[in-house]
A and B are shown apart, each in its own frame.
Chain A
Amino acid sequence: MGLPKVIGTEVEYGIAVRNAPDFNPVMGSSTLINSYAGERARIQWSFDEESPGRDARGFGYEDALPSELDSGLVNVVLTNGARLYVDHAHPEYSTPECSDTREAALHDKAGEVVMARAVARTRELMPADERMFIHKNNSDGKGNSYGAHENYLIARDIPFGSVVRHMTGFFVTRQIFTGSGKLGSENGRGDVDFQITQRADFFEEEVGLETTLKRPIINTRDEPHADSAKYRRLHVIIGDATRAEHQTYLKLGSAALILDALEDGALVEPLLLANPVPSVTAVSHDPTLQTTLELEDGRSITALEAQWQYLEWAKKYVDGGAEEPTYVEVVELWESILTDLEIDPRRTADRLDWAAKLVLFEGYINRDGLPWDDPKLRMLDLQYHDVDPEKGLYSRLVTAGRMARLFSDDEIEGAVNAPPPGTRAYFRGRCVEKYRDALVAANWDSLVFDVGGDALKRVPMMEPLRGSKELVGDLIDQAESAGELLQLLGGE
C-alpha cells in the first residue's frame, strides 16, 4: 500500500469588474476576501516554513521567497481549514488537506461556494453599476493564464526521475477528462475553433520549477509543508479548474491512484511520449480524440488509448488490494468516462465541463448559425465559469438537471464550514472556530497561540495525518480555552 494520499487543490479565480476601467485586481481581490472573512476569524497566515524555490531535483534558488511575503496581502484561514487569500492579482482558494479523493473534490467545490458568497457580499459594498465577477477558469483568452494546482503527498523515497517518467504521459493524456474547454487558442499556438483545455497552450517545458512562465508538465517545486525527510508534495500545475463534480473527482482520484500504484511498484513500464510538450497541445486541440501521439518506442497511440492503458494498470492495482476506499468508485467512473468519450464525447456532457461547453456551442451554432469566434460564444465560454449561481452557465445547467451531481447541497455546505476529519486540517479548522481569539497565526504545518504567557506557543503539525478528528476531536471538545487545549495536548 502506497502512502495515504493527502490531497488538496489551489485554485486562482479570474476577477473582473464591469464599468470600472481603472479596476485594480489586487485591491479587488482583497475586497472580495475581506467581504467573506469580515466577521470571521482574521487569522494571519505565517510564512515561516514556506520555500517555493526549493527544487525536487536537488537545487533551487536560495533566495526565492513566497511572493506574498512582502505584500502584506489579505490572507486568512477559514473554519474548514482552508486558506483564502490574494495571490498575485487573483483571489485564491486552497482547500484543506483531505485524506481521500472524493473529499478533496468536495472541498474544491466548497471553494466555489465561498467565492460565490464573497462576491455576493461585495455587491452590497460597491456601486450598483460596478458589478464584480469571479470566474473559476484559467485563461482570459488573450494569453494570460492562472493556475489550478493539485497537490498529492508522496513518499520521499520515490526517485523524482521515476515520477517524471511515469507521470508525464499520464498528465498529457488525461487532458481528455480534465479539460474545461476553450474557444480558440492562445500563446501563438495553432488555430483551432475549440479545444479541450484552458491550460494546454501555456506549457513549454517537460520538467521545471517555474509556474508563471515556461510552465512545465512536471513541476519540481519541492515544498512538502510536512516532514521533508519522509514526504514530497507533488505539485501538479497541468490541469484546469473544473466545475463538474464527477470531473474533479476523476481528475484527483485517477492521479492519486496512479501515484499510489507507482509507489507500490505496480506501474510496470512507463508510457514514454516521444515529444511530450507538443503532445500537450496536440491532445487539447483535438476534441474528436483521434490525434495520435508518437511514443519513444516508435508506436503511436491516441490519448484515449493511453488512458485505457493507465486504467488497466489502475484496475490491476486496485484488484490487488489497494485499501483506499474511493478507488473502486474512481475506477468505475474512469471506465464509464472513457467508454463514453470513445463512443462520442458529447455523451460526457453531463460530467465533463469541456463536453458540456461543446454541446452548448454546437447548440448555438446550430440554432443561430453563429461562427465559432462569435462574441456571443466567447461570452458563453467565459460565463460558463461564473461562480454566481444565477448567472453562471455551469450552475444553470445544474439547475436544469443537465449536469450529474456527486454531492448534495448539504454535503457542500458542510465542507464550506467544517474541516475534513482525516488530516491536520481538522485541528486547524476546529481551532479557528473555537479558539480564534487566542490563535495568532496559522499555516499548513503549524499554529501559533497566544495564551497569555511570555512566549507565544507554536504547535507544529509536520505530520499531515495527525491532528485528525480521531486523534484530537475529544480534546478539542473538552478544552474550553486554547490554554487548556495546549495542556491537554501535553506540549506536543
Chain B
Amino acid sequence: MAEQERKQSRSDSTKEDVVETDIETSAEGEEIAEKIDDILDEIDTVLEENAEEFVKNYVQKGGE
C-alpha cells in the first residue's frame, strides 16, 4: 500500500526529520502512529522468542 512506502521512506531518514505535509494521514492519525514507539520497546520484551520457528509451526486444523 502507499502507506507502506511512506513509512519505509521515513524510516530511512533521521528522527529529527519531521514529516511536514501528508495528504494521506490526518494529523491525529499521524500522532497515534508516533506515540506507538513508546510501546514497541515494551512489546519487544514479551514477544515470543524464535518468532520465525513459532510462526512456521503454527498450523491449525480447520474448524466450525
Name A residues whose Cβ lies closer than 8 Å to a Cβ of B.
Answer: 12, 14-16, 18, 25, 87-90, 92, 139-142, 144-147, 149, 193-194, 211-213, 215, 237, 287-288, 343-347, 349, 359-360, 362-369, 372, 375-376, 378-380, 382-383, 390-391, 393, 396-397, 400, 402
Contacts and interface: CB of A to CB of B under 8 A. Distances in A.
Please name the 10 residue pairs, one residue from A and one from B, whose CB atoms are nearest each other, closest first: A146-B63, A344-B29, A379-B51, A363-B36, A89-B61, A346-B29, A375-B52, A147-B64, A211-B64, A140-B60
Interface string B12-52: 10000000000011101100110011111011001110011
B48 A88 contact: no
Contacts of A213: 62
A237 B40 CA distance: 34
B1 A287 contact: yes
Contacts of A360: 36, 39-40, 43
Nearest to A392: B46
Given A25-B60, A90-B63, A391-B46, 16 more contacts: A25-B61, A89-B60, A144-B59, A144-B62, A146-B63, A215-B64, A287-B1, A343-B28, A347-B29, A347-B32, A363-B39, A366-B11, A379-B51, A382-B55, A383-B46, A390-B46
Most chain B beta-carbon neighbours within 10 Å: one of A362, A369, A390 = A362
Contacts of A141: 55, 58
A438 B58 CA distance: 42
Contacts of A396: 39, 42-43, 46
Given A89-B63, A343-B26, A347-B26, A363 B58 contact: no
Given A359-B32, A359-B33, A194 B64 contact: no
A16 B24 CA distance: 39
A213 B63 CA distance: 10
B58 A140 contact: yes
A344 B28 contact: yes
Given A344-B29, A378-B51, A16 B57 contact: yes
16 contacts: A12-B63, A25-B60, A87-B64, A90-B61, A213-B62, A343-B26, A343-B29, A346-B25, A347-B32, A349-B32, A365-B4, A379-B48, A379-B51, A382-B55, A383-B48, A397-B39
A363 B24 CA distance: 17
B28 A347 contact: yes
Most chain A beta-carbon neighbours within 10 Å: one of B1, B29, B33, B63 = B63
A287 B4 CA distance: 12
Nearest to B38: A400
Contacts of B11: 365-369
B58 A87 contact: no
A288 B24 CA distance: 9
A360 B40 CA distance: 8
Contacts of A215: 64
A194 B7 CA distance: 14
A223 to B, nearest CB: 14
Nearest to A377: B51
Contacts of A382: 54-55, 58
B64 to A, nearest CB: 4
A344 to B, nearest CB: 3
A18 B37 contact: no
B3 A362 contact: yes
A344 B26 contact: yes
Contact of B33 (A149, A363, A376): A363
B47 A193 contact: no
B1 A346 contact: no
Contacts of B29: 343-347
A363 B37 contact: yes
B43 A12 contact: no
Contacts of B26: 343-344, 346-347
Contact of B48 (A343, A391, A397): A391
B3 A145 contact: no
B58 A88 contact: no
Given A144-B61, A376-B47, A346 B8 contact: no
